[in-house]
Chains A and B, each alone.
Chain A
Amino acid sequence: MPKVYNWQLGREMDYPYNGIRPKRQVALIMDTNKCIACQTCTVICKTTWTPGRGQEHMLWNNVESKPYGFYPLGWDVKILEQHGVQPLDGDTYAGKTIFESAPANEIALGYIPGDQDYAHPNVGEDDSFGNMTRGAHLSMQHNQWMFYLPRICNHCTYPSCLASCSRQSIYKRPEDGVVLIDQERCRGYRECVKNCPYKKSFFNPVTRASEKCIGCYPKIEKGHQTQCTTSCIGKIRMTGFISTPDKAREDNPMDYIVHHAKLALPLYPQFGLEPNVYYIPPIHVPPPFLHQMFGRKTAAAIATYRKAAQDEKLLGALLLFGATERIIHRYKVEGGQTIGYDETDTEVVRVPLVEPVKIRPVWDEAHGAYRTNVT
C-alpha cells in the first residue's frame, strides 16, 4: 500500500492511493465557543441541497450536542470503540489510523449505520455531562458541561470514502480539494457510507446512489464561502483555503489561525484522514475529553484562545468570521482594523478590532422620552 504524508499525524501512513494534494484545499474553521446550535446552518444546507425525495434523513450539515448528541446515533463512539485505545501524545502519532487497523477483508475500519440511527438527529441535545449533586445550583463556573459540535464533510486530504469506493466513483477535485461522488457512476454499494468515520456519506434509497456534502462548490468556484458559513448568525465559521504547514502564509487568515496560532484543530485526527474542518475547541470542557477529539494540542489552543485579544493578528483573523460572503485570500491588520482581500487582491471587507461604543443618555431630549431596552 502506498505511503502518504499526513502532517496532522507528523508521519507517513498507509493509504490505498498515492498522495497527490490538490492545487489548493478548501477548508473551514468553526469556533465551537460561539455556536448556539440554532441550526440555521443545518436548515439552509437542507433547503439548498437535500430537500429531495430519498434525502429525508440526510443532513450534510448538522449540529450536535456533545457528549451525548450524535448524528447518526453514536457515530463517533462506535468508530472509537472499533479503533481502540490509541496513544495520542507526542509530535508523531504512534497509534494506528483506520486504514492501518483495517480488518483483513476491508479497506478501513467502519460500519454501516442502521436506519434508526438517522431518525433522531437531535438526540442528546443540551444534555450535560455529570450528575447534579444535592444542593447544586447555578453558579460560575458550572460543574456540568456540554458543547455544540457543528459538522459537515471534512473534505479530507485522504478521504476514506474515496479510498473505499470499489467503482472509483468518488474523486477529489484538483482545483479545490472538494470531495464529490460521481452521481452517474455511483451504484449505491455504500462502501463510502461504511468507511467514512465521520458518517458524512449518505445512501439515497430513492436514487439508490450515495450522496454527500459538495462543499457548496458552485459558490466556491465564484469565490464565495459555503452556505453554512454565510448563513451562520453566530459568525462561528470561516471558509477559505488552507496550506500545508510548510507553505503556510501568515497573511492567509486560515493559515494564521491553524498553523501559526495553532488555535483550530482537526476532528479526530487519529483516524488518519487529514480532515479539513478545523475546530476552535470549547474552553470550558475538561481537557481529557477534548484531547481525544481534537488531539494533544487542545490545551495550548484553549490557552491561546483565552488571550486572543492580545494577539492583534489573531484577533484580526477571528473578526473576519461572518464578515463577508467572499472567500478571503489575504488579510492585514492596520489602523485598528482588519482588512480582507479576495482572490484578485481586491478589498472586500473591513472590520474594526474594537467596535465603537456610543453611550446614549437614558433620557432622549429631542423626543422627550426615555430610551428603553426592549430586547
Chain B
Amino acid sequence: MYRTISILALLALAACGPSDSPVNQGKAPDPAPNVPTIVAGRVSEAGPALAPDSGIFDAAPELTVNLLPQTVVVPRNPETSVPQISVRAVHDGKWLTMRLEWQDNTLNNTTGISDFEDMVALEFPRTPGTTPNIMMGDANNPVVVLQWRAARQAAIDRGERPESRHAYPHMSTDIDIGDLLGNDGSVYQGAAHVGNPVSLPDINSSPVLAQVAAGFSTLTSFKERIAEGRGVHNGERWRVTIHIPLGGELELVPGLVPGANSILAFAVWDGKHEERGSRKSWSPAWTPIRLDD
C-alpha cells in the first residue's frame, strides 16, 4: 500500500517536470487549461486584519486540494490524518491572504513533552517561473515555506514566552532559575538563547514561520522577513489565514504580484497523531494560483 502511494507521489513529482526546465526559466508558468487553479480576487482589504471567519472569503472561489500521507522519505506517515484542505484566497495588492480550512476535531496547541501541535504550511517557488522539487526544493531551485503553528499562536496570544506551566498547569518547582539569575538564567534556555525561531525568543513575532529551503534538511527561517497568520478552531475544524506581503520591502515570494501566476503546495500536521516534520499530510503536486489584477 505504502509503496503504491510512494510510486504515485513520485509520478506526481515527475509530472511537475524537471526543476531546471528552460521553458520555465524567468517566466511565471501559465496554468494549463482545466487544471484546478486557486484564484485570488482583489478585495479592498486583505492582510493581517482579515480574520479567518471573515465573510470576505465567502465570495472567493474555493478549491479543495487532496492530501496524501508523506510516504516518500523516512520517517513516513503511514496514514492520512487530513485527507483534504479547502483553500480560498484574496489579495488587496499589498497582501495575499490564503484561508485554509480542514477538518480536525481535536485542538492541539500545546507543546508538552509528548504532545504535538497542529500546523499547516504553504510552499512557493523562491524563484519566479521555476518548478522546484516539491519536496523542499533543491539546490538550484529554493522554495519559500510559510508554516503556521497552533502552539506558537497560543503563546503569542498569551503574550509571554512559553513556560512549562502552560503545558503543565499544576506543576511546581522548588527553584526558579529566572528568580535566581535574572537574565543570566537565559543561558539555560539553549535554543532560545541562540535565537532559534521555534523557541519564540521574540514574543511579538508571528505565528507563521517564514522559511526558505533548498533540499531536504535545509529548511531555515528568514531572520527578518515575516508572514502573518491566525487560526481559529471551532471544535470540529481549523480555519487558518496566512498573510503574505506582496512586493515591497517585505516581499517574501518574489514574483507574487497582482496579475501573476505561480504555484504552491500544502502540508498539514495533526498534533493528535504526533505529526511533525516529515510525518504529515501533503499535496504531492503543485497547485496553480493566479492573482487577479
Contact = CB atoms under 8 A, between A and B. Distances in A.
Are chains A and B native binding partners rather than an unrelated pairing? yes
Interface of A: 49-57, 104-107, 112-115, 118, 164, 166-168, 183-191, 202-209, 211
B276 A189 contact: yes
B14 interface: no
A53 B199 contact: no
A112 B114 contact: yes
A209 B112 contact: no
A373 to B, nearest CB: 37
Contact of B164 (A56, A106, A188, A189): A56
A166 B200 contact: no
Contacts of B71: 105
A75 to B, nearest CB: 14
Nearest to A189: B277
A118 B164 CA distance: 14
B173 A56 contact: yes
Interface stretch (B96-104, B185-193, B225-233, B247-255): B185-193
A166 B163 contact: no
A196 to B, nearest CB: 14
B23 interface: no
13 contacts: A55-B188, A56-B171, A57-B113, A105-B76, A105-B77, A106-B74, A106-B76, A166-B75, A183-B191, A186-B196, A186-B198, A205-B113, A206-B164
B49 interface: no
A209 B164 CA distance: 13
B217 A184 contact: no
Contacts of B178: 53
B78 A183 contact: no
Interface in B48-80: 71, 73-78
Interface string B1-16: 0100000000000000
B2 A104 contact: yes
B2 A105 contact: yes
A276 to B, nearest CB: 23
Nearest to A49: B188
A166 B217 contact: yes
B276 A53 contact: no
B75 A105 contact: yes
Contacts of B193: 183
10 tightest A-B CB contacts, nearest first: A52-B188, A209-B191, A105-B76, A207-B191, A189-B277, A183-B190, A207-B199, A183-B191, A168-B217, A189-B276
Nearest to B69: A105
A205 B75 contact: no
Nearest to B186: A52
A34 to B, nearest CB: 30
B118 to A, nearest CB: 14
Contact of A208 (B171, B173, B195, B200): B200
Interface string B261-286: 00000000000001011100000000
A109 to B, nearest CB: 12
Contacts of B189: 52-54, 206-207
B163 A53 contact: yes
B72 to A, nearest CB: 11
Contact of B195 (A184, A189, A204): A184
A112 to B, nearest CB: 5
B191 A186 contact: yes
Q: Is the interface of B mostly helix, strand, loop or mixed?
A: loop
Contacts of A54: 162-164, 189
A54 B195 CA distance: 16
Given A51-B177, A56-B164, A184-B196, 10 more contacts: A49-B188, A52-B189, A53-B178, A56-B171, A104-B76, A105-B2, A107-B75, A204-B190, A207-B191, A207-B196
Contacts of A168: 217
A209 B190 contact: yes
* Residue among A113, A202, A209 with the highest chain B CB neighbour number at 10 A: A209
A120 to B, nearest CB: 14
B139 interface: no
Contact of A206 (B75, B162, B194): B162
Contacts of A187: 198, 276-277
A53 B113 contact: no
B111 interface: yes
A363 B163 CA distance: 63
A314 B171 CA distance: 48
A51 B175 contact: yes
B109 to A, nearest CB: 13
Interface in B176-212: 176-178, 185, 187-196, 198-200
Interface in B110-163: 111-114, 151, 161-163
B199 A209 contact: yes
A237 B168 CA distance: 36
A172 B75 CA distance: 21
A344 to B, nearest CB: 31
A112 B274 contact: yes
B281 to A, nearest CB: 14
Nearest to A190: B276
A266 B124 CA distance: 48
A45 B258 CA distance: 57
Contacts of B278: 166
Nearest to A194: B75
B219 interface: yes
Nearest to B217: A168
Given A53-B189, A187-B277, A115 B175 contact: no
Contacts of A50: 188
Contacts of B43: none
B114 A53 contact: no
B111 A205 contact: yes
Contacts of B111: 188, 205, 208
A186 B198 CA distance: 8
B164 A53 contact: yes
B137 to A, nearest CB: 15
A115 B163 contact: no
A189 to B, nearest CB: 4
B200 A115 contact: no
